Amino acid sequence: MDIQDAQREVRSVYIGGFWGQLVSSVIWLVSAAVGTWATPKASILTVVIAGFFIFPLTQMLLRLSGGRASVSRENAFHWLGMQVAFVLPLSMLLLAPVCLYNLNWFFPALMVLLGAHYLPFATLYGMRVFLLLAGILIAAGVVIALYFSKSFSLGAWIAGVALFVFAWLGRSIAIGEASAPSTH
């Protein structure tokens, strides 16, 4: 299987990242609401704990939607997806000293980490739209930390909305490709 076929299978199976990003957007938006109307600690616990359920919820939704939940073993990117998935939780350890310095930097810093996490998705899926999502998350995280850090939840709201929009954009790309006449 060549790289383009491997990317096409990833796009097809994971519907351009739709379910994973949709689940992530809901988690970020719920955490934003908790941070806005409850406490920062509860908000942080919400996004961190719920974040561990993104993959299993994505798998469940893929199966419930009638599709496969993983790419074939022959796919050159079979293991890359898992490796990319571990980058974010392992890098989240960096958030501890950030929060000790300024608790309101939690979400902007997490946005930067999430954006960096999405960079390899451009290769994994063969979709440049992930570069745009990564750039938006990273840039917004930096701008919020530098200029709008009086708000604890602003970054969570922005990331949640961005993930929601890009979930549908990725779905549109993948479904459009699947319905297009085959060139093979």
**At CB < 8 A and 24+ separation, what contacts does 133-139 make?**
133/162, 133/163, 133/166, 136/162, 137/111, 137/112, 137/162, 138/111, 138/112
What residue ranges of the chain have pLDDT lower than 50?
none
Contacts of 124 (CB under 8 A, 6+ apart): 7, 10, 77, 80, 81, 84
pLDDT value at position 76?
85
Assessment of whether the complete model's pTM goes beyond 0.85: yes
pLDDT tens profile 69-118:
899 988 989 888 888 888 999 999 999 999 999 999 999 999 999 999 99
SS3 at position 148:
coil
Amino acid 129: pLDDT: 97
Angstrom distance (rounded) from CA 132 to CA 70: 25
Backbone Cα Rg of the chain = 17
Separation of alpha carbons 65 and 88, rounded Å:
26
